[in-house]
Amino acid sequence: MESRFYALILGLVVLSGELCADVRVFSWETKKGAKVNFVRAAEIPMVDIRVVFGAGSARDGRKYGLAKVVNRLLLEGAGELDASEFKDKLAMTGANLYADSFREMAFISLRTLKSEEYYNESLDLLTLAVTTPQFNALEMKRVVEEMQLEIALKEQSLSAVADESLWGSIYKDHPYGNFPLGNKESLGSLQREDLLAFFSTYYVTQNAVISIVGDLEKADAIELSEKLSEKMLQGKPPRPIPDVTIPAGLTTIVDKQSKQTHIRLGQVGISRNEPDYFPLLVGNHALGGNSLVSVLFQEIREKRGLSYSTYSYFVPMEKRGPFVVGMQTENEKKDEALKVLREQVTKFLSDGPSDTDLKLAKANLIKGFPNRIDSNQKILGYLSMIGFYGLPSDYLTTFPKKIENVNKSDVVAAFREKIPLDFATVVVGEMTGSD
């Protein structure tokens, strides 16, 4: 029965699509040192632009939440335009301009029509946002209050509490342990001078990657990147993020009233430039990255009915990002579920996937890859990653082949080498009646 199930799924995966078409990436640097990646996509009269900076919460220092506040204020008034005027002008162009930040990176993205009138106007607004944000005191107060509310809401989410507790357990005082939203006290103490100092340090061309996808010739993309970067501060490359140490596998229990218990296992994982990235990607897909047919799904949900959802994933970063295994289960089943989860992960990290699981994982990754690059915005995301982590420009075209070349011994060796078995454990839920 099981073999017929796998065969059926594998057949469906194989039929899901063709290998990705050749996506040619052009790369260069602007005169002021910003890295640029460009893909011509002339099918529709649109241009997508993203400027990424190494300006995430890992750069907060002790001013927790600073990176997020700076990023959110980029679109709340710039140059001579206050927040309302800026948004009105943007609306007139029909363009979409948005920003966000995470632990390592912050970005601002523009999607605009190629029409010269709208294109030039929207590009001017993007340029204002990355060169002369106002950091208006009233807008800053509003953003800080919104973030404090978000923190309060996340404190009510068992999943969010489990995730952030795990990051804290793994990274402790390392900058990766900084909660991107910060905390209420730190946010309340931020001054405008803090924002200006952060912006002038990290929102500079020496810390920037410009990605462009759309209906442009290469010469037009070069002109765009120069126009965008020439008014930016040049600055200096930021200090490297400190190396990550391997933590002891401590257990954290958070008692919260709930019907479900959220469980996380985690350890330091890999950097994005890790030579073993592809064996670990394939292995994780077999373990818990492919939700329907992964080892964890079959052993924990299908065979034992201990969880509706169980999964695993890597967060590859400049330094070693986390490897995470997660699930949620009924309160009365949490002890058994945690025991089985640990057993299955330990066994997999020691023995690797079965031949069938490996074949299925590789087929799913290869045949599903076209869906990951089937829009300009998806390609834009990959270009940003390529530029930010210094990946080869042929990454998109060589992805299927690198997956295909992975064998079982590669997976076993990579997991044994890179993933410590002494996992940090986080359990969030109602502990009444627990052992």
Q: What would the 3-class secondary structure string for 295-312 be? A: HHHHHHHHCCCCCCEEEE
What is the tens place of the pLDDT at every residue in 355-403?
A: 999 999 999 999 999 999 999 999 999 999 999 999 999 999 999 999 9
Architecture of domain 26-230: 2-Layer Sandwich (3.30)
In tens, the pLDDT along 85-98 reads 999 999 999 999 99
Per-residue pLDDT, averaged over 296-318, amounts to: 94
As its CATH architecture, domain 243-429 has: 2-Layer Sandwich (3.30)
Helix (H, G, I), strand (E, B) or coil at 16: coil
Amino acid letter, residue 123: L
CA neighbours closer than 13 Å in the CB half-sphere of residue 419: 36
The pLDDT value recorded for residue 382 is: 97
Alpha-carbon gap, residue 270 to 276, rounded angstroms: 8
Tens-digit pLDDT profile for residues 233-265: 999 999 999 999 999 899 999 999 999 999 999
The set of residues, in sequence order, having a beta carbon less than 8 Å from that of 113 and lying 6+ positions away, is 45, 46, 47, 93, 94, 95, 119
Tally of CB atoms within 10 A around 35? 22
Cβ proximity of 299 and 340 under 8 Å: yes
The per-residue pLDDT for range 161-186, each reduced to its tens digit, is: 999 999 999 999 999 999 999 999 99
Whether 278 has a pLDDT exceeding 50, the answer reads yes
Cα angle at 74 between 69 and 76, to 5 degrees? 95
By C-alpha distance, which of 29, 51, 48 is closest to 40?
A: 48
Residues with Cβ < 8 Å from 30, sequence gap 6 or more? Answer: 36, 205, 210, 225, 226, 229, 230
pTM above 0.75, yes or no: yes
Distance CA 298, CA 305 (A): 9
> Beta-carbon neighbour count of residue 176 at 10 Å?
26
Mean pLDDT, residues 300-328: 95
Q: Do 26-230 and 243-429 have matching folds?
A: yes
Tell me, what's the pLDDT at 8? 36
Domain ranges for the chain, please list them: 26-230, 243-429
Contact 211, 384 (CB under 8 A): yes
Letter for the amino acid at 206? Q
Alpha-carbon gap, residue 124 to 234, rounded angstroms: 19
What is d(CA 253, CA 165) in angstroms, rounded to the nearest whole number? 9
Closest CA to 166 of 58, 48, 321: 321
What pLDDT band is residue 21 in, cutting at 50, 70 and 90?
Answer: low
Token representation of residue 37: 């990646």
pLDDT above 60 (res 5): no
> Whole-angstrom distance between the N-terminal and C-terminal Cα of the chain?
38
Q: How many CA atoms lie within 13 A of 179 on its CB side?
A: 21
